[in-house]
Structure 1
Amino acid sequence: MHEVTAMLPTLARVLGSQDRLGALYAAVPDMAQPDGDFDALARLASGIFEAPIAHVTLIGQDWQWSKAAVGTPDTRVRVEESFCVHTIAQETREVFLVLDASKHAVFRHWRRVAEAPSLRFYAGVPIMLEGQAVGTVCVLDVVPHNGVSAKQVEELRRIAEVAATLLKVKDKAHRHSLNEAALLRQEQRLAMALEAANVGSWLWDIRAGTVAGDGAMTRMFGLPSERSLSAKVVFSAIHPDDRAATFSKLRAAMAADEEYDGMFRIRANERWLLGRGRVHDRDYKGAPLTFLGMTIDVSEQQVAVQRTRLLLKELNHRVKNTLAMLQSLARQTLRQTSDPAEFMMAFAGRLQAISEAHGLLSDHEWGTIRLSELISKQLRPYVSDYAEQVELHKDEILLGPDQAVGLGLVLHELATNAVKYGSLSAPKGKIVLTARSVVEEDSAVLHLTWTEVGGPPVREPRRRGFGSLLIERSLDKIIGSSVKVEYMSAGVTALIHLPL
């Protein structure tokens, strides 16, 4: 325990410490709001010292705020008249004790000491977060005390430790709630996009006899929108005339460890689906355990006239290439989780990116599409105000099928990262895109620069995840292309080089 000493020169430094304020605001952004969860701690401290007034406080640069208070209606006080400031200014982090404030050279002139409520006694210990004193648990009395016991001080210190733990738990719960809300909004946007794109995916657990499919897949099969369905129910949805051939192809692919590739109709609605899949893993005897598959609704192409049939030939070729890419993406994503529901959530975003490019190309009969259309399709699901959050400076540039699919996947991964960690995670953050067509060695080349501004400070990740690898390799199919990502402190920048 320490008597009051001449600590005044250190107070401004402690109050303005960026490390201390950073720890405080990161954990308690709403520190001015009282919190009933701390009331019991204030009452306990009051009872231990038999003092009428007790606080659980947080201390900013200008104000001291009470998360909980007993015996007083005051919820804040200027730091110039705060005993607690002296508590957190101690280097020893011990109890700060004032037995009779009316006899102290500094405190006796304070309004709350010289006038009502005529405070006399104070005892406080700091609340520590990330090694920083951010507040106190303290007790006050209007009469002087002769002293305090070691047991009282130890109990006050324990209450402060409980308060620190409670702040951490509430901060963690708040962040978890925000993340869940963001994921739910993203899942809803992705579900709507996949519904429109008519691309579905599913994971068959062979031993359990269940199929986990996304909303697009269950809609195509005319089944209830459930995360897990009986495999018997799913396969029974296939038209009886196509069921035997589908099963035969599936069994042959599983036995030979090859890709399944087939087309079948759905019994309930006569829709035609193009499916592709492969065994994902096997047991030690080689028996298949899980089968990963994708389906795309190709009904319109099947019933179209000859012109559409000629288009379908090209479309099927592109679809197979796209599904092959999806299969590779799915396997890589599935390696990161063994839970089917988690897999469907992680995979849905990448599936959406390819689906959007696929839909644009289909609208233009698999010719060329404008770069601005592709950018709009890929980024609109991740922003609330496209005009404000996406700034585009471009030449008029046309993209072919391979270029559009690959670039669409790159834009999706960059946007997903921006929403989680970059500029789109901040209210005023935005993306600036500059696209120019230049001539290099007598050939047209797209130079596309992605720049994030207005977001939080960026640091290069210590470990490159699958998303980073995907950004770099999505254009590998196009000779001469490249993607370089730079983690500048002001925001992520991506430089894309793509032959046209």
Structure 2
Amino acid sequence: MPALIDLGASIIIQDQNLNYLYLANLPEAWACGEISAPTDATLFGEEVAAKLTTVKSSMTESGKKGHIEVTVGSDQVFEFRVQAVQFEAGGIHLVTTIIDRSEERHRERLLRALLREVSHRSKNLLAIIQSIALQTARYSGSLDLFLHKFRGRLYSLSQSQDLITDSSWRGAYFYDLVRQQTEKYLPDNTHLVKVSGDNMLLTPNASLHLGLALHELIVNAVSHGSLLRGVRPVEVTCTRIHLDGHDWLEMHWHEKLSNRAGDDSTEDSLKAHFGSTVLERVVPASVNGKAKYIISNEEISYELRFPLDIGD
């Protein structure tokens, strides 16, 4: 018993008539000073006493056990464990230990909430992947081209998801998102992408889709745009603006092109190479925003606006 008390347990010993013979370390929730003839009802109240009586009434033989859980207030949970014990003198006695399970139950509730969150996030991610697969297949002329584009977009999602997970699902900061999406393609030339403006924390949904847009833009820049020549850095800005009574995020991606004189490529033919469906349709629709994508012989610019208070 001293060992149990040292561990924080409460001990009650009663005879078969439920007379209290020993009481130690009663939880503060029921501490009520000295009581000359304590009973379950006077200590714990009629409701708890009725549950204890039901458990104890069946304990007529040594070794029988039973337990109940009692919630006190909104967050305290106690477990009552009752056991019939044969004493050398006096016959069968009932030994009740009371253990505080509040922290354990709190962790269980938190785990259940986290599992629900994981399920929710997983379903959202699967829906995004399904949408990306559909759009990629629709605008890919061959299986090899589809696999090439689809793998790159999945990698982009996984990189953004890493940032979201590291932040306990709060989201990702804009600067981190740009850095993570560009460093794979410019490991030794990160200076070719200059980021400025507000380093805002984006929601998980916005992080995934903005990361996808950045992936498309950096791949295009490396494959077809200014970074292929390494002439001028790309400028990326992020700004919080107030529009129609709401806070919005406005992102600009700006590439100045040079040495394209004499290039007869039209905007439409260039866009065929530049993943415009993802940038102009998929991403803005997913964040309830608007996008403007301009390609000319002089520059490539992408502007994305979306409300910051959109539900995730």
The 3 A distance-change label for structure 1 pair 364 and 467 is same
Residue aligning to 2:275: 467
The 3 A distance-change label for structure 1 pair 387 and 464 is closer
The alignment status of 1:364 with 2:173, answered yes or no, reads no
Residue aligning to 2:231: 428
Once residues 314 and 401 of structure 1 are traced to their aligned partners in structure 2, the CA distance between those partners, rounded to angstroms, is 12
CA offsets per residue over residues 458-496 of structure 1, 9 Å max, x none?
7413375482111012121323x1110111332201111
Residue aligning to 1:489: 297
Secondary structure in 2 matching 1:356: helix
Residue aligning to 1:334: 137
Query: How many correspondences in the alignment?
Result: 195
Equivalent pair of 2:270/2:295 in contact (CA under 8 Å): no
Map residues 385-424 of structure 1 onto 2, 5 A cutoff: 385-424=188-227
The 3 A distance-change label for structure 1 pair 393 and 342 is closer
TM-score, normalised relative to structure 1: 0.36
The 3 A distance-change label for structure 1 pair 309 and 344 is farther
The 3 A distance-change label for structure 1 pair 456 and 417 is farther
The alignment status of 1:320 with 2:128, answered yes or no, reads no
CA offsets per residue over residues 194-215 of structure 1, 9 Å max, x none?
xxxxxxxxxxxxxxxxxxxxxx
Once residues 271 and 145 of structure 2 are traced to their aligned partners in structure 1, the CA distance between those partners, rounded to angstroms, is 20
Q: Which runs of 5+ in 2 are unaligned?
A: 1-106
**How far apart are residue 456 of structure 1 and its match?**
4.6
Once residues 423 and 308 of structure 1 are traced to their aligned partners in structure 2, the CA distance between those partners, rounded to angstroms, is 48
The 3 A distance-change label for structure 1 pair 348 and 449 is same
Residue aligning to 2:20: none
Residue aligning to 1:478: 287
Q: Which residue identity is paired with 1:462?
A: S
The 3 A distance-change label for structure 1 pair 440 and 430 is same
**How far apart are residue 350 of structure 1 and its match?**
0.9
Once residues 460 and 386 of structure 1 are traced to their aligned partners in structure 2, the CA distance between those partners, rounded to angstroms, is 28
Once residues 308 and 376 of structure 1 are traced to their aligned partners in structure 2, the CA distance between those partners, rounded to angstroms, is 32
Equivalent pair of 2:160/2:172 in contact (CA under 8 Å): no
Return the structure number with greater relative CO, CA threshold 8 A, min gap 6: 2
The 3 A distance-change label for structure 1 pair 447 and 334 is closer
Once residues 115 and 180 of structure 2 are traced to their aligned partners in structure 1, the CA distance between those partners, rounded to angstroms, is 23
The alignment status of 1:499 with 2:307, answered yes or no, reads yes
CA offsets per residue over residues 404-428 of structure 1, 9 Å max, x none?
1111111111111111110111123
The 3 A distance-change label for structure 1 pair 360 and 309 is farther
**How far apart are residue 308 of structure 1 and its match?**
5.0
Once residues 240 and 203 of structure 2 are traced to their aligned partners in structure 1, the CA distance between those partners, rounded to angstroms, is 14
TM-score, normalised relative to structure 2: 0.56
Once residues 129 and 304 of structure 2 are traced to their aligned partners in structure 1, the CA distance between those partners, rounded to angstroms, is 22
Q: Which residue identity is paired with 1:460?
A: E
The 3 A distance-change label for structure 1 pair 378 and 456 is farther
CA offsets per residue over residues 2-59 of structure 1, 9 Å max, x none?
xxxxxxxxxxxxxxxxxxxxxxxxxxxxxxxxxxxxxxxxxxxxxxxxxxxxxxxxxx
Q: Which residue identity is paired with 1:486?
A: I
Map residues 235-246 of structure 1 onto 2, 5 A cutoff: none
Q: Which runs of 5+ in 1 are unaligned?
A: 1-303
The 3 A distance-change label for structure 1 pair 423 and 338 is closer
